[in-house]
């Protein structure tokens, strides 16, 4: 016997329209597989004319209260994004006994503890698979498939825009600006790409994954974020020469009870599974203490991928496999004095004697050991100098770079990229 779920959609943009189209096209398939028939009862959007022209047999309104207060609606899909009124829509939906699905990573990452308190107060259920890499069922895997594991680390290519840009910089030798323009032309980047290229999008996603993996509330403002705007074709070329590729990674680790959560460009070995993930695709590697590393690849964004994740959540909630994560306190994040990494340092300097000794002396004073130096012969007054270090404290490296940039012979801002070899570290859960 089939079960009918009446759905209310709030927001009819890329994702909202994608959900409507998916349900309309595949309703029979969904019902045949799950025994659940999803009916879109009402759609809310400020532009009711646009919605009315695109749908049939569905009520259209500009008031989200018409959905949250409708006793016939079972599930509300909050797909407008942002903090407000999305937060109010979710709260009112749950107060009226409805389950909610959302793709709102900003709300979950920045107000995650509030959302869980809301679940506890109302007894509602919240599905948010679509909030993190829509085409990859990473939330379900983390919550269910790896429920018996302590999560040692999560490492991911979490943003398709930046991965596309870095892929084209590597394969076609494009500058950042050229690759960005190409991504915008193809619809992989927004007109204002700041949210993606400066690491905020990946930061929201790794924050959500870390909260679920470690059961701790996280202050998003404390997560260090670095984007890819400073990466040049020169860095891409040197990375290839050294056997690495550059990816924007979101990283979360539990090290001796403290969480190391960050987003930044990273040089990773070419043979690593994440290195082969190209263009707009995403990839997530979760390392469990019992199962070891689990890698999932797929499209992370776009109308179809995100809509698929939203519908998956609707089906899951209809079957009542409720999941109510509980936080056991605020996360203790590692400080810059505790975070360590290997580093690639590129600087443009005058071609004069004694420069390398001054730079190496500065590194030495901060207890940073040099692993290798690269300086290709060029017939120019200014030459790129590349130094790769052994592991060093993040705080020491930042202080060192500040000092190096004060030298008169250094002519541009220093480029600093972390190098990750993914060696196993002893971690206490």
Question: Nearest to residue 163, comparing CAs of 233, 246, 106, 226?
Answer: 246
Collect all residues with Cβ–Cβ distance below 8 Å to 196 and sequence separation of at least 6: 159, 161, 162, 189, 190
DSSP class of residue 165? Answer: H
The structure tokens 């959609």 sit at 9
Burial category of 328 from C-beta neighbours within 10 Å (exposed 0-12, middle 13-18, buried 19 and up) = exposed
Concerning whether 258 is annotated as a catalytic residue, the answer is no
Catalytic residue among 98, 205, 247, 393: 205
146-160 exposure pattern, b = at least 16 Cβ within 10 A, e = fewer: beebebbbbbbbbbb
Question: Nearest to residue 78, comparing CAs of 99, 55, 56?
Answer: 99
385-407 exposure pattern, b = at least 16 Cβ within 10 A, e = fewer: bbbbbeebbbebbebbbeebeee
* Rounded distance between C-alpha atoms, residue 26 and residue 342, angstroms: 49
- Helices 176-185 and 160-172 pack at an angle, to 10 degrees, of 120
Residues in the chain: 429
Instruction: Provide the CB-side half-sphere exposure for 245 (13 A, CA).
Output: 20
- Per-position DSSP letters for 168-182, written without gaps between them: HHHHH---HHHHHHH
Burial category of 292 from C-beta neighbours within 10 Å (exposed 0-12, middle 13-18, buried 19 and up) = exposed
Question: Nearest to residue 11, comparing CAs of 60, 59, 48, 45?
Answer: 45
Catalytic residues: 205
């Amino acid at each position: 016997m089939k079960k009918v779920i009446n759905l209310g959609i709030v927001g009819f943009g890329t994702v909202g329209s994608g959900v409507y189209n998916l349900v309309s096209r595949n309703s029979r398939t969904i019902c045949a597989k799950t025994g659940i028939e999803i009916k879109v009862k009402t759609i809310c959007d400020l532009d009711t004319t646009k919605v009315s022209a695109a749908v049939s047999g569905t009520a259209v309104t500009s008031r989200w209260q018409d959905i949250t207060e409708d006793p016939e609606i079972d599930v509300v899909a909050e797909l407008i994004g942002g903090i407000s009124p999305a937060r109010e829509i979710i709260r009112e939906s749950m107060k009226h006994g409805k389950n909610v699905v959302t793709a709102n990573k900003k709300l979950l990452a920045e107000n995650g503890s509030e959302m869980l308190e809301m679940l506890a107060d109302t007894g509602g259920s919240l599905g948010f698979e679509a909030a993190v890499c829509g085409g990859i069922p990473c939330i379900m895997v983390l919550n269910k498939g790896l429920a018996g594991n302590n999560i040692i680390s999560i490492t991911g290519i979490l943003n398709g825009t930046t991965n596309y840009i870095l892929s084209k910089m590597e394969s076609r030798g494009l500058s950042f600006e050229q690759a960005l323009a190409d991504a915008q032309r193809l619809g992989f980047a927004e007109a204002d790409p700041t949210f993606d290229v400066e690491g905020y999008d990946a930061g929201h996603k790794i924050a959500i994954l870390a909260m679920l993996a470690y059961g701790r509330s996280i202050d998003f403002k404390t997560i260090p974020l670095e984007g890819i705007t400073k990466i040049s074709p020169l860095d891409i070329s040197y990375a290839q020469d050294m056997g690495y590729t550059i990816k924007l990674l979101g990283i979360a680790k539990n090290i001796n009870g403290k969480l190391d959560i960050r987003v930044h460009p990273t040089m990773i070995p070419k043979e690593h599974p994440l290195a082969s993930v190209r263009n707009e695709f995403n990839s997530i590697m979760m390392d469990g203490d019992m199962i070891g590393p689990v890698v999932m690849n797929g499209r992370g964004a776009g109308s179809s991928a995100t809509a698929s994740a939203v519908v998956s959540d609707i089906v899951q909630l209809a079957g009542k496999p409720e999941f109510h994560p509980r936080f056991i306190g605020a996360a203790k994040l590692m400080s810059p004095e505790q975070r360590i990494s290997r580093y690639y340092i590129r600087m443009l300097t005058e071609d004069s004697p004694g420069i390398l000794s001054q730079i190496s002396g500065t590194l030495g004073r901060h207890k940073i050991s040099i692993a290798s130096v690269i300086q290709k012969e060029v017939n120019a007054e200014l030459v790129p100098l590349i130094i790769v270090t052994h592991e060093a404290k993040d705080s020491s490296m930042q202080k060192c770079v500040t000092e190096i940039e004060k030298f008169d012979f250094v002519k541009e801002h220093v480029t600093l990229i972390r190098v990750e070899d993914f060696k196993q570290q002893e971690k206490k859960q």
